């Protein structure tokens, strides 16, 4: 994640040494998250929880915890972490947003770390 952050941030990078990995859709589903994710909430959670599209860096992991996306969004909007800019532009967080972000970050990763030939 630090390598992706470095590439996205460009010349104006934040210090990542004290940041931790945050699950945007949290590891423990609250009632708010079940409502947000809809009828397939448990399946979406099981499938996408630990995927690249659902992970980011933050210095506010304990504060974000299992909070609802709207609550987490306040932190992402003011975040100095470049990876969080796209998250901050989302009105909701579910399957579509996670999969789209995963595709974008995977493409970025491939451009950074070339595979062996």
Structural domain of 57: 2-112
State the pLDDT confidence band at 4, using cuts at 50, 70 and 90. Answer: very high
Portion of the chain with pLDDT greater than 70, in percent = 100
Give me the mean pLDDT over the 80-105 stretch.
97
**pLDDT for res 25:** 97
pLDDT at 42 over 80: yes
The model's pTM: 0.91
Domain assignment present for residue 117? The answer is no
17-41 residue pLDDT tens: 899 999 999 999 999 999 999 999 9
Domain assignment present for residue 70? The answer is yes
CA 10 vs. chain centroid, Å, equals: 19
Domain assignment present for residue 89? The answer is yes
Give me the mean pLDDT over the 92-117 stretch.
93
Containing H/E element for 44? helix 41-48
**pLDDT for res 105:** 97
**pLDDT for res 54:** 98
Domain assignment present for residue 14? The answer is yes
Count of the separate structural domains present in the chain: 1
Classify residue 114 by burial, with Cβ atoms within 10 Å: 0-12, 13-18, 19+: exposed
């Amino acid at each position: 994640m630090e390598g992706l952050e470095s590439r996205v941030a460009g010349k104006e990078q934040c210090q990542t040494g004290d940041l931790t990995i945050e699950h945007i859709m949290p590891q423990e589903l609250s009632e708010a998250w079940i409502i947000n994710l809809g009828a397939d909430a448990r399946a979406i959670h099981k499938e996408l929880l630990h995927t690249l599209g659902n992970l980011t860096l933050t210095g506010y992991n304990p504060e974000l915890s299992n909070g609802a996306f709207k609550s987490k969004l306040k932190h992402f909007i003011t975040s100095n972490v470049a990876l969080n800019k796209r998250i901050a532009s989302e009105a909701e967080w579910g399957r579509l947003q996670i999969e789209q972000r995963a595709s974008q970050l995977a493409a970025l990763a491939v451009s950074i770390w070339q595979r062996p030939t």
